[in-house]
Amino acid sequence: MARGLRVTTASRYPSAMPSYKSPRGTRDLLPETRAGFSRLEGIARSLAARYGYREMEIPLFEQAAVFERGIGAATDVVEKELFRIAPRTEDSEAWALRPEATAGIVRAFVQHGMHTWPQPVKLTVVGPMFRYDRPQAGRYRQFWQWDAEAIGDAGPAVDAEVIEMGRRFYVEAGVPDVQVLLNSIGDSACRPAYLATLKAYFADHSAELPELELRRLELNPLRLLDSKDPSMKALIATAPKISDHLCEACEVHFEAVKAHLDAMGVPYRLEPTLVRGLDYYARTSFEFYRQGAEGQQQALGGGGRYDGLVELLGGRATPAIGFALGLDRVLLALAEVGADAAVEVPPLAVVAGADPADTVSRLRVAALLRAEGLSVRVELAPRKLSRQLETASKEHAHFAVIIGDELAEGNVQLKDLEAGTQRLVPLVDLARELARAAKSHRHG
């Protein structure tokens, strides 16, 4: 009877306990990983400032039409990967989570009349993007991008400047051997004739095309070139190349981009099959890869010129170029090469106490130091002083501020945990003494 009861309780209780997990394709960024992201965001913000880009925010979701029209309805990103938000009522807007930032930034450019600002308008966004893709290593449903856009300059010098800034990010982040893959995909003058050639080529092989690609052949033949379907690989390899069909103006532009990159000493590899996966591109297109790592999941970043997008989203014709770098993949690349991605800074001091029960004094001193801008942890658990100091050493705090009977005379013990020395310091001088030490050491 007793045994039966125990079994009943054991089997019923755990199954009644909910077990929640983060959604497939998303990750919790635990503190160590978050510190890695923060470091990359710091580099991105520093570069953005150095190159004259101003940070802004756009909503995490937009009218779905912004993406459908901007990125293109017959692209993987919109057709297969868009996170659509179910409308709450029949007549409410169709929204979608942003799969990238460019379309939203351009929507904002038009909405806020930024064409009246001094041109080019250089904008940057750092944040999460959402694509309902099949999750795997380096491909997530929520991922982070550093996005930068220079709107209102027809280039080609700005193209080279943008590419050089992207490459500098990887250098400063510590990712070795990042290559620039470069191509020009023509413009509205030369692309139509190329598309006709491309369409004829794939039409000749229509029996070998999967259903989705067969449909795209009608709607948008360029997209067949960035198909993720493995059965398309061989056909894509022998397809006509856009680089052989550029008009003179596109040729001249491309040559000038290369000349500017050469002058800055930015190495690149010409990649005539690089067409990018989004419809808004024209002329300069590029991607960043680690040497040897190729394939869509390995791109560390990419971008290009999108001279028609502002007009497409309701503004006046405005040339533009930009990139987005995938921060998740940069962290993975850093882990692969064994580089330290995260810098978590230990506290400068831990406030400990000889009387474990006296949390009042410890908290009061900690508040005083924090108000002076110092990073301190305060020991609030009623533990013996020796244990408090042990923990402080383990977390690499530089100092322990020990509160004891001396506090009655306005003094505390300041123990240098690194040097192993200890001295009496008046409470009124404590913040100044610690601040001086913090300056000569790296502490948060």
Residues at the interface with ligand HAM (CB under 6 A): 100-102, 131, 133, 138-140, 143, 145, 147, 149, 277, 299-304, 306, 322-324, 326, 328-329
Taking the least distance from each CB to ligand HAM, the nearer of 325 and 438 is 325
Q: Answer whether 328's CB lies under 8 Å from 138's CB.
A: yes
Q: Answer whether 350's CB lies under 8 Å from 388's CB.
A: yes
How, if at all, do strands 320-326 and 301-305 pair?
antiparallel
Cα separation, 256 vs 250, in Å, equals 10
Chain position whose Cβ is nearest to ligand HAM: 326
Least distance CB 192 / ligand HAM (angstroms) = 22
Nearest to 83 by CA among 65, 73, 91, 95: 95
Taking the least distance from each CB to ligand HAM, the nearer of 159 and 328 is 328
Query: 89 has which bridge partners?
Result: none
Least distance CB 270 / ligand HAM (angstroms) = 18
Cα separation, 312 vs 387, in Å, equals 66
Q: Answer whether 168's CB lies under 8 Å from 138's CB.
A: no
Cα separation, 135 vs 25, in Å, equals 5
Q: Answer whether 39's CB lies under 8 Å from 187's CB.
A: no
Taking the least distance from each CB to ligand HAM, the nearer of 138 and 346 is 138
Least distance CB 307 / ligand HAM (angstroms) = 11
Taking the least distance from each CB to ligand HAM, the nearer of 278 and 397 is 278
Taking the least distance from each CB to ligand HAM, the nearer of 75 and 411 is 75
Taking the least distance from each CB to ligand HAM, the nearer of 48 and 324 is 324
User: Which residue do the tokens 């799969």 mark?
Assistant: 99
Q: Answer whether 148's CB lies under 8 Å from 162's CB.
A: yes
Taking the least distance from each CB to ligand HAM, the nearer of 109 and 143 is 143
Cα separation, 404 vs 352, in Å, equals 9
